[in-house]
Amino acid sequence: MRRFRHTALLLSAVICAAVSCSQENPAYYRENLKATWLVHTHDGNLLDERSWQVITFESTGTVDWAGVLTLPDANFQWGENTLLYDIYCCDLSVHGGYEGLFGYLTSVETEQEYSFIVAEDSVMTLGVDSWKVNGTEVTPEFSSMTMRKLPAGFAETDTLAGIWQFNTRDGADFSGYRIQFLTDGTLSISARTGENSWQPMGGGEDYFRRYDDFLALTVYDNSAFGTPSKWDVKCFQIDSISSATGSMAMRSAGQSYTLSFISAN
């Protein structure tokens, strides 16, 4: 009888552990993960907008990791790499090859292991357990990253499409520039050359990506927002945008901007 009781208690403990793991991890974590997340914080510290990244976990087991990509000759563009991911109970594994991400110019193979510190419907914090590059263990610049889930329509451009006039930057006049957002994801920035005269800047194929209230611009040879004769990325957090009032307010690298809607495309 005593042996039976011991066996029953041991079996009960195993079942409880399995149920606990099932409730807390595989089903909920695996399903909740399948979305697009905006990474904004490392180790509890809010990042500059240009360091924000966007991670999309697909139901197919792939993960699209978007951010500022480092290119040769000090050029930068916004882009993404596609990796693979798996969930093992309490742990997340990301692996595959990427290029440009995290400053790597050449293609590298990576193996990244994470644990779930916080996993809620709209907020998630992952702790870094292991990070390998080309099979060698490395120490990333952060030990945890916090992200928020983006709504299903995060890429909609209806309220953004059109020509916008910059009004102010940090309260000072900044009306010498206009920006035009097209529905195909391309943009153009113009500088004032006269009272009613505007000259397009750059000459490259500038583009933008919208992730709800996060906006990433890739511009070429842009003296206002980029690096002369090079590609660069300028990122903004949109504080408010209204088609009714034709106004937009946004921030970037500690500076605030206000804009007015001029016309549709």
Please report the pLDDT score of residue 83 as a whole number: 98
Backbone angles phi, psi at 17, to 5 degrees: -65, -40
What are the structural domains, with CATH classification, of the chain? Answer: 23-149 (2.40.128.280), 162-263 (2.40.128.280)
Q: Is the pTM of the predicted complex or chain greater than 0.85?
A: yes
Helix (H) or strand (E) holding 21: helix 2-24
CA 12, 17, 22, 24 torsion-angle sign: positive
CA-CA distances (angstroms) from residue 49 to 38, 139, 189, 240, 261? 11, 23, 20, 16, 23
d(CA 176, CA 247) in angstroms, rounded, equals: 17
pLDDT means over runs of 10, the chain (265 residues): 38 37 65 96 98 97 98 96 92 96 94 95 97 96 97 92 97 97 95 92 90 97 88 97 94 97 94
d(CA 140, CA 115) in angstroms, rounded, equals: 15
d(CA 144, CA 140) in angstroms, rounded, equals: 10
Please report the pLDDT score of residue 244 as a whole number: 87
d(CA 47, CA 36) in angstroms, rounded, equals: 18
Biggest CA pair distance of the chain:
97
